[in-house]
Amino acid sequence: MKKLAIIGAGSMAEALISGIVENRLMDSGQIWITNRGNQEKLNELQTQYGVQTTYQLEDLFKGTEMVILAMKPKDAANAITLIKQHLTKEMLIVSILAGVSIDSIERLSEKTLAVVRAMPNTSAAIGKSATALAVNDKVSEVQMKLVKEMFETVGLTTIVKEEQLDAVTGLSGSGPAYIYYLAEAMEKSAIDIGLEKQMAKELIVQTLLGAAEMLSKSTKEPQQLRKEVTSPGGTTEAGIKVLEAYGVQHAFIDCIKEATAQSRRLGQTFSNGVKV
């Protein structure tokens, strides 16, 4: 790929730039980026990664093969309307806009385009994202391979149907926040039981890392792994009984279902608001 244009300069855009440059998928000079008006942020990205920055749309799109839509979803309609005259059927459009459907992107652009929707999560910043990709039938195998390679620079990728992206958003898109929420509770309990905060943090982080690694490498189901740690009459059983009494597992299930439902609602609201 000779040229990549990124619209939006937030944390996800930066994570992708970092992954692409560090893995030498493209030369940094082939990456062009713009945003709505934060010149300071563009200067930072140019200094740190060597990318090209501009507010001139003609320069941004000239010779571009892939366009990444990375602005805030609330700004998507105005942004796509602004750039639509520069979009062509030869370009691959990659959207990381939560709740913005492929159909909405095509209606706003008033064109038939090759579009990939991607749902990464914030762990992309450390190369550990779980990213789901959904495509329309205009995306070629070569383009799909290129997109997978790009998102694999920031973690794991999987291909899903577009209608599954709301579920992915509720599960892994928002997932890091659920783990941080759990870590918050563990830190608070550690202080209550007499441990120093820094010591507690180290223990919690290593515990979460170890459990994640076990889930990754073991062929056993999570339930079986839990049972193997839970000795009858032991400390773990005592703790699990409290979690069960509070319905924590059901709360997590409802949490993910509600996040999924909210993603659907936001997508429907955006779609209903698209006027062409």
Domains of the chain, first to last: 4-166 (3.40.50.720), 173-263 (1.10.3730.10)
Q: What angle do CA 97, 249, 214 make, to 5 degrees?
A: 80
pLDDT at 275 over 80: no
Read off the pLDDT of each residue in 103-126 and give the average, rounded to a whole number: 96
Write the DSSP string, 96-138.
--TT--HHHHHHHHTS--EEEEEE--GGGGGT-EEEEEEE-TT
Q: Are 139 and 116 in contact (CB under 8 A)?
A: yes
The predicted-structure confidence for 45-94, as pLDDT tens digits, reads as follows 999 999 999 999 999 999 999 999 999 999 999 999 999 999 999 999 99
Both tokens of residue 101? 């459907």
Alpha helices in 153-234, H assignment, sequence order: 165-168, 175-192, 197-217, 222-229
pLDDT at 276 over 60: no
Q: Return the half-sphere exposure (C-beta side, CA atoms, 13 A cut-off) of residue 63.
A: 7
171 pLDDT band, cuts 50/70/90, is very high
Q: Which amino acid is at 103?
A: D
268 three-state secondary structure: helix
Q: What is the pTM of this model?
A: 0.91
pLDDT for the residue 272: 87
The larger pLDDT score, comparing residue 273 to residue 113, is at: 113
